Structure 1
Amino acid sequence: MKNTEILLTIKLQQTLFIDPKRVRLLKEIQQCGSINQAAKNAKVSYKSAWDHLEAMHKISPRPLLERNIGGKNGGGTALTTYAERLLQLYDLLEKTQDHAFQILQDESVPLDSLLSATARFSLQSSARNQFFGKVACQRIIDSRCVVDVNVTNLPEPLHVSITTKSSARLKLMTEKEVMLMFKAPWVKITKQPLENQANQFAVTIKSVNDEEAILQFGDTDIEFCATVSRPNDWQVGQQVWVHIDQEQIILATLG
């Protein structure tokens, strides 16, 4: 929907703080260093510009403008660091809104999970394997925190080994949504199951080329991507086993 326009408005104390018109005014001040010239560039009257700036100033947590005295052009008006960050935040929110609207057209993206939706439309990663799940439990083994994560359609949790500091930083708790990522080289393929091996699943080779194999778990939409060094050893439709080292899985979550 190329013609879609989403106008972002931010209120503070139930009063308009910033909108597209005020953003343009601040950006013009940032560019030219003059309220008078900024008003002309934004195609508003000088009085209207002052009214907007005064209204923002009254409810802003920090000053938005500062006067530059003297200098080559005899002084002028500049944005404070807070105002510059405000513009950056506004641009970021606009991009987020645009991405959010785009995923509305992709029915494969669930909208009942903030983490899943956010990651799918904004996160780019070199890790070919990305899954979403919820923390089932966590325990300390050999000074490491092993986190069990339930992933829909997998019969057993994925086990992830991280440091205790990482667990605390991620604020992990039961039922918290997490994202799991691991690169294709860490997915190992064997023709027979290994004994006492965590994160091991029976899969079918869906496709294979000189670099990688795509492996499907049952009749589900779950697929693993694995790097292969000897592609001739594997065939499409072949039943194999995959296993992932629990220390090679990266966990991510929202705060």
Structure 2
Amino acid sequence: MDSILHRLRGKLEVDSEFGTFLGDTRIRLLEAIEQHGSISQAAKAVPLSYKAAWDAVDAMNNLADQALVVRSTGGKHGGGTQLTDYGRKVVALYRALEAEYQAALDRLTASMNEGEASDLKQFRQLLKRMSMKTSARNQFAGHIVGLRAGQVDFEVRIKLDDDNEIVAVITGDSAENLGLSIGMEINALVKSSSVLLLNDPNLKTSARNQLWGEITRIHDSPVNSEVTLAMKGGKSVCAVVTHESVERLGLAVGEQACAVFKASAVILCKYS
């Protein structure tokens, strides 16, 4: 067969258990935020929809050890969006790794040009099989700070940051398979449809997880609405509730609300 004459070109992606954490599009979004100081202008520059841009920022902030992007309100020049020092370091590191990554692909191309064309097809199939995505809207990374074994269930306390913790209840078999231990980094998934919203601090609920934050976005539709809360520390949580619930609770951007979900609604996973 003819040898491979094409150059392998790739874009570096940093993956988590939930899919891509950092990739070319998200890095360009961060660079555009740094340049424009505005999420709307940055979204146009990439280009992305305004909602997709905020979703990407929320996902990155939730999975990173420190916030990459912060919102600023008020001030002499009004509100805006900017990168943190940590965010700038992440962008610089990504671009440096990207250059090394392309150099490695160039070396791989040279090697594969000496073999069969089917080698490249097999390589692409392998990369595709290794990728994984999840439909869970809320994706958190944290460290285990508490473990309690019961007769049937296993309770896991996860510290997301200095201000927020969540609790998961899983089976004993699942805990054993994951090899859980204090201090271990763990990833938590929560479907947005499993999250309820409250805005009365005096209301009691049996749900173990209660994350308070400021409503930053409400994506409304005739039946359901997607509501995003920004928590202290830069992380966020998203809930999908009925349009009627939004109106009944009087939910509005800038107001405080609490995201409530059961410990049994939290799915845990870790890097292999």
TM range (shorter): 0.5 to 0.7
Distance 1:244 1:8, change over 3 A: same
The residue aligned with 1:213 is: 227
For each residue in 1:187-234, what CA deviation from the matched residue of structure 2 results, as whole angstroms up to 9, or x when unmatched?
Answer: 11112242454111222222222321111224x311110012023232
1:1-255 to structure 2, matched below 5 A, reads 4=99, 5-7=102-104, 19-28=108-117, 30=118, 88=123, 92=127, 123-155=132-164, 157-192=165-200, 193-208=203-218, 209-210=220-221, 211-218=225-232, 220-229=233-242, 230=244, 231-233=246-248, 234-255=251-272
Contact (CA 8 Å) 2:168, 2:266: kept in 1 or not? yes
Whole-Å Cα distance in 2 between the matches of residues 254 and 227 of structure 1?
Answer: 28
Whole-Å Cα distance in 1 between the matches of residues 175 and 115 of structure 2?
Answer: 42
Distance 1:23 1:171, change over 3 A: farther
Aligned length: 165
What is the letter of the counterpart of residue 140 of structure 1? A
What is the letter of the counterpart of residue 149 of structure 1? I
Whole-Å Cα distance in 2 between the matches of residues 143 and 26 of structure 1?
Answer: 55
Contact (CA 8 Å) 1:153, 1:222: kept in 2 or not? no
User: How far does residue 142 in structure 1 lie from its aligned partner after superposition?
Assistant: 4.6
Distance 1:24 1:169, change over 3 A: farther
Unmatched 5+ residue regions in structure 2?
1-9, 12-97
What is the letter of the counterpart of residue 240 of structure 1? A
Identical positions, percent: 21
Distance 1:27 1:153, change over 3 A: farther
- Structure 1 or 2, whichever has the larger Rg, is 1
Whole-Å Cα distance in 2 between the matches of residues 91 and 6 of structure 1?
Answer: 20
What is the letter of the counterpart of residue 239 of structure 2? A
**Partner of 1:237: helix, strand, or coil?**
coil
Contact (CA 8 Å) 1:202, 1:242: kept in 2 or not? yes
Contact (CA 8 Å) 1:206, 1:237: kept in 2 or not? yes
**Partner of 1:25: helix, strand, or coil?**
coil
**Partner of 1:228: helix, strand, or coil?**
strand
Unmatched 5+ residue regions in structure 1?
10-17, 32-83, 97-121
Whole-Å Cα distance in 2 between the matches of residues 136 and 19 of structure 1?
Answer: 43
Whole-Å Cα distance in 2 between the matches of residues 242 and 194 of structure 1?
Answer: 13
Contact (CA 8 Å) 2:155, 2:167: kept in 1 or not? yes
Runs of 4 or more, structure 1, over 6 Å off, are: none
Whole-Å Cα distance in 2 between the matches of residues 164 and 158 of structure 1?
Answer: 18
Question: Using CA pairs below 8 Å that are at least 6 residues apart, which structure has the higher relative contact order?
Answer: 2
For each residue in 1:19-56, what CA deviation from the matched residue of structure 2 results, as whole angstroms up to 9, or x when unmatched?
Answer: 5444343434x58xxxxxxxxxxxxxxxxxxxxxxxxx
**Partner of 1:166: helix, strand, or coil?**
helix
Whole-Å Cα distance in 1 between the matches of residues 153 and 187 of structure 2?
Answer: 19
User: How far does residue 124 in structure 1 lie from its aligned partner after superposition?
Assistant: 2.7
Whole-Å Cα distance in 2 between the matches of residues 148 and 139 of structure 1?
Answer: 9
Contact (CA 8 Å) 2:207, 2:263: kept in 1 or not? no
- TM, length-normalised to structure 1: 0.55
User: How far does residue 125 in structure 1 lie from its aligned partner after superposition?
Assistant: 1.9
Q: What is the CA RMSD across the aligned residues, in angstroms?
A: 3.4
Distance 1:6 1:243, change over 3 A: same
The residue aligned with 2:58 is: none
